[in-house]
Structure 1
């Protein structure tokens, strides 16, 4: 595009030329007012009236409709009872305004790349000229945010001179300021009048940027203040990577989750969040992107390297008083070796225990383990009691040292994880006893050992609705393993601590699975996530509309996955590192359709309840007509259901 110009000096517009917005321009002021509504609930209306007054005053004086941001804030401040000083209000207003703009802006990458190449190849000077109410320092803040300082030689903004491109007078000021020849200058911009007609009127060559699609997008957004399904689809259409991504619907669910987490920490004035390993590794990444350049930027997110295994033994009492309730409520079919592994016994420790009981089979799976002869034999042994209690004390000490080192013990903080029962939180609560602990989870199927001092919140589903198909929440519980696969971590499970640092289990097969499948998917996901956050930011406080739309989209996905999604799912495996040990495989054994039908009719409940992903299993087994019936059944209850 720039090949057709032969200019030593380039003037370029900012909005809808160098950068676009994910919402229509006026909505940035509405969002700003919502962020500051604790000062006055009529901020937006008052600001709109004041801006109009200031523009009219300047037109009479200078012939341009423009105002200074500080003047607007000064008059606005005079309209309400001062709960803070003007300077504090002005700084807060500026900071919030910049945060909002950064959240909704994204660069015109193609144009910026061309400008950079043209500048490098031709030694041209590039000046940004913008009709806007920000002062130069505020505009430079945005310029630096987008790394545009690498290509711009200077910036001129109308509010600094109280003259605009729209009136044509700002061009004259800039030309005089930089002492450029008209024949050397070209103006690049989107606005037909301000950027093209008025530049031509000043004898400046022009190059028009066609932003008509962006204007149409703004108009569609203006039609309804509240998010509609059509608007949502239009937003997703603006993110080309969304449709290419294998599981975009899971990212939408995670958006609901992270959006609610941010609301919780603000309401409760929580300053530190601890994301629990291992699913918390990716959750922390997307949370950090979500809060970047927002009012939540003072919240510190930490990665808590704990696991059921690393917290279980420290949570226990001496052997004679221990019931192992939190282990046996979920796993009660295990070998002696698996029991000892769950209790953080090393291979060396297990060898020592074997020497105490040479006649016991340590690898034999035992049903109802807690009532078995073998388990009672272990507990009665003085040698085993002494070794167990020694390991217990060491594990308590190392975990407490680790928790103290990362600041968990001294903070009013929030635990965040993907969920299901919150067992790790229960273990930590048992260890710390009197410390109040709160946890927020994507979903819970059981509250575990929740109490007044050990509180848990299932954000998208909880035990009261997760299995009730008459509740919309149950759709998010349809295939929990998808969340676990999607959120797998780059490291093994935490098995203990040494010198205040976590020790990770090394599993080469699990690591290979992550590097080959999960990591590339997560890298793609982060690109899509950043854009989802930017485009949905104008609606972040419309939780009801977001929930209704995203739950509907997730319903359509989870009950009617594509073959590509099923194939990718079937290629994965998940390692279970507590209770039972080994990989879960998601590929179904190939059987004839007739055999699958007979199995379904004979073992209907077991057939579906044993499936990792019901719709995927029915499709893999070529039982599409049964899937259709199942989907209709779920859809009927979903439409009638309450959240």
Structure 2
């Protein structure tokens, strides 16, 4: 029955409302279950109130102007007095206001004036002995004055302005994001004012791009709670940066009052986890998982994948007609590669490396808390989730749920204990444009600690063995950019929580920022991209110098000259980021125009081929 129908004001306490709501929508077997869940939900609501409320800086000095024998709180509020007292206590106001009256407790409110009467009767005071202070012009001023109470309206100018801003922000997410962005950029300029111009530019670029990574980290937190994962592992290299953002965004390890799973970085890579991930030493069938992704592979790279050095097998290679630096097209079809893998010397060496690496990786995962059962969440920037697949094979009895900023189509069968979710761009759903060249995002997310290649024993523990190209240490753009993103996370975080912003609401802005970074990148990003070689572990091997664009001569005569043509094709296959051509400092205008034209034609060819394959598959079905 409605409260008003029984002679009271239309007031209800939170737990009463939750009970009624649960009885309507939840299939709970007993009243005890209803009461228990209602209590849990009310406690969650209190936590949210604690996170969003604050003490007005002028309230204490104001109260000293109105000395009284007794100071109480008097509130039209949906939480009972016991919960409101806990809220005030959490803000350090217990000594200032110890007790009071709440409308939902007595089902009488200030709007009707009946709560004032209840207070006077309960405390045995007359209206003229009562000074009431509040901010609402009707409930806190007009009504009490009608009753003979001395009413004081407390509306600081800054609070009125803040309320207006909040009303705008609550009405429009776009306006809210714009407000936070302006505030963050102003704080960043002040923070970075004394820094060198190059660091300042990279730092501010990170601040502007921050919502891309904040939206993703919010997505990770939401999904981790929803999927009930036991722990979150951020996979290096890019995971080192993403974990910094995650920790800055959720400093209390909670999302809207809900506890987030424990999280940490994990020193892994494709090459450090591939070989040891199988239940038996590597063979031809295992290597097909690599060749499906890299249909061109150098012989030396094949050895690297198996943890071996090709130089130690020169006699075997010579007997098979193979050269260490030879680029093999479709290795799965080359009979020489088949004979190499079956050669006793190769199999014995590969099996020995497999055993060592599997034992070290197994110990490392145990030491990092990656269990053999349960539900494990992994986080990475993208692109096919192959490290997650490798970990899932290492821990077949655990469930692995992956969270990615972008995902490409899977080219290999997915392990049964793997599930993958994407926040930004999903090629499986037809979103391909931003994935034409994903290297820029890898550059700005890369870790200065390098990439994990193997593991070694250090006393009683196993630690990652990492490598980093010397030129990487000469460029501070990624680190400065990341520092800007983490700085912005601390600025954005409280507002995202206060306004209950979800990752879905940030997604459009996130993709827009990703597009901007890809098409109109900061100069420091392009410079780092060109000057720091790309490490190609599984395909061509070694490091690829992206600044060495094929010459005009090679582009023009590539139609007739096979060596020139191969150089041009290999370059186009290994990088397709057009701004690296547009902003290349060492190219003439004709050279730049020719290169950009070839890049665009290559992308059109690739998309056309994919479309044709899709149409063929559909006809087959």
- Which TM-score band (shorter chain)? 0.5 to 0.7
Of 217, 226, 232, 2:173 maps to: 232
Per-residue deviation at 1:420? Answer: 1.2
* Kept in 1: contact 2:234–2:242 (CA 8 A): yes
1:396-435 paired onto structure 2 within 5 Å: 396-405=358-367, 406-431=369-394
Give the SS at the match of 1:306.
coil
Residue 201 of structure 2 corresponds to which residue in structure 1?
Answer: none
Per-residue deviation at 1:432? Answer: 5.1
Summarize deviations over 1:573-607 as a string: whole Å, max 9, x none. 5675560455877x899x9xx99x999xxx99999
Residue 330 of structure 1 corresponds to which residue in structure 2?
Answer: 294
Cα distance in 2 for partners of 1:190, 1:606 equals: 70
Of 410, 414, 421, 1:447 maps to: 410
Summarize deviations over 1:448-488 as a string: whole Å, max 9, x none. 323362645462444445xxxxx5x3354365234324433
* Kept in 2: contact 1:55–1:65 (CA 8 A): yes
Per-residue deviation at 1:367? Answer: 2.5
Cα distance in 2 for partners of 1:85, 1:133 equals: 25
1:348-497 paired onto structure 2 within 5 Å: 365-368=325-328, 385-405=347-367, 406-431=369-394, 437-451=400-414, 453=416, 455=418, 457=420, 459=422, 460-465=424-429, 471=430, 473-477=431-435, 479-489=437-447, 491-494=449-452, 495-496=454-455
Q: Give the 3 Å change call, closer, same or farther, for CA 313–373 of structure 1 in structure 2.
A: same
Cα distance in 2 for partners of 1:509, 1:241 equals: 35
Q: Which moved more, 1:73-82 or 1:489-498?
A: 73-82
* Kept in 1: contact 2:231–2:262 (CA 8 A): yes
Per-residue deviation at 1:396? Answer: 0.9
* Kept in 1: contact 2:210–2:489 (CA 8 A): no
1:76-95 paired onto structure 2 within 5 Å: 76=21, 83-95=28-40
Give the SS at the match of 1:238.
helix
Matched, 1:307 2:263: no
CA RMSD of aligned residues (A): 5.8
Residue 523 of structure 2 corresponds to which residue in structure 1?
Answer: 567
Give the SS at the match of 1:420.
coil
Matched, 1:54 2:3: yes
* Kept in 2: contact 1:402–1:500 (CA 8 A): yes
Q: Give the 3 Å change call, closer, same or farther, for CA 532–279 of structure 1 in structure 2.
A: farther
Residue 281 of structure 2 corresponds to which residue in structure 1?
Answer: 318
Give the SS at the match of 1:570.
helix
Give the SS at the match of 2:463.
strand
Of 457, 464, 471, 1:503 maps to: 464
Give the SS at the match of 1:502.
strand
Cα distance in 1 for partners of 2:244, 2:121 equals: 46
Cα distance in 2 for partners of 1:340, 1:132 equals: 70
Residue 530 of structure 1 corresponds to which residue in structure 2?
Answer: 493
Q: Give the 3 Å change call, closer, same or farther, for CA 157–285 of structure 1 in structure 2.
A: farther
Give the SS at the match of 1:413.
strand
Q: Unaligned regions of 5+ residues in structure 1, if any?
A: 1-49, 224-230, 466-470, 638-643
* Kept in 1: contact 2:234–2:264 (CA 8 A): yes
Of 483, 497, 501, 1:520 maps to: 483
Summarize deviations over 1:299-358 as a string: whole Å, max 9, x none. 55454432112202213653665763344543855574x66554446xxxx6xx867759
* Kept in 2: contact 1:489–1:514 (CA 8 A): no
Summarize deviations over 1:340-389 as a string: whole Å, max 9, x none. 554446xxxx6xx8677599999974423996999899868766654432
Give the SS at the match of 1:553.
helix
Summarize deviations over 1:94-141 as a string: whole Å, max 9, x none. 4435545755886577x7566699999xx9999766431212443355
Give the SS at the match of 2:493.
helix
Give the SS at the match of 2:411.
coil
Residue 191 of structure 2 corresponds to which residue in structure 1?
Answer: none
Aligned length: 535
Give the SS at the match of 1:208.
coil
TM-score normalised by L of structure 1: 0.62
* Kept in 2: contact 1:280–1:417 (CA 8 A): yes
Give the SS at the match of 2:353.
helix
Give the SS at the match of 2:500.
helix
Q: Unaligned regions of 5+ residues in structure 2, if any?
A: 187-203, 558-564, 608-621
* Kept in 2: contact 1:273–1:299 (CA 8 A): yes
Residue 78 of structure 2 corresponds to which residue in structure 1?
Answer: 133
* Kept in 1: contact 2:220–2:403 (CA 8 A): yes
